[in-house]
Structure 1
Amino acid sequence: MTKEQFILRLKELEISKQDFSELCRVPYSTINNWGVMREGKPLVIPNWVEPFLDYYEKAKKLEYVMTEICQKIESVKK
């Protein structure tokens, strides 16, 4: 995953780098340095980031669906 792909994915998920930092317990400065050139090579974004974001997206969708279902059930009970 490139830095550009990472930034785009965060925007798609409506999560800031700061929020991602807190969620993953990775220092913000570390996240901010991903993709920056050091000694002629970019600092690599770890392999776990892409699957983590995929699971985060799935969890957000599941939470939305569960909330909708629970609201429907509550409205039927009344």
Structure 2
Amino acid sequence: MTKEEFNSKLKELNLSIKDFSQIADIPYSTINNWGFTKDEKTIPVPKWVNPFLEHYEKSKKYDYLMGEVFKVAKSLEKSKKI
């Protein structure tokens, strides 16, 4: 994953670098260094970041779906009590 792909994925997930930094418990400055070249060597985005973001996305979708399921379940309970 390139730094551009990383930034694009964060934008897609509506996350800032600061948010990602807090969620992943990584210093903000470390994340900002990804993609930069130092001594003719580019600091890569770590390989674990892509799967981490994929699982984060799935988790957010799961949370949303579970919230919707509970709303429906509550409304069904209320309608049975009436």
Q: Which runs of 5+ in 2 are unaligned?
A: none
Task: Kindly indicate whether residue 18 of structure 2 is the aligned counterpart of residue 31 of structure 1.
Answer: no
In 1, distance between residues paired with 2:44 and 2:77?
Answer: 52
Matches within 5 A, 1:37-76: 37-76=37-76
The CA deviation string for residues 6-33 of structure 1, in whole angstroms up to 9 with x for no partner, is 0000001111100000001000000011
Shift of 1:76: 1.2
The CA deviation string for residues 8-66 of structure 1, in whole angstroms up to 9 with x for no partner, is 00001111100000001000000011001111121111110000000000001100100
Aligned length, in residue pairs: 78
Q: Which runs of 5+ in 1 are unaligned?
A: none
Per the alignment, in what secondary structure is the counterpart of residue 14 of structure 2?
A: coil
CA RMSD of aligned residues (A): 0.6
TM-score of the superposition, structure 1-length normalised? Answer: 0.97
Per the alignment, in what secondary structure is the counterpart of residue 15 of structure 2?
A: coil
What's the counterpart of residue 13 of structure 2?
A: 13
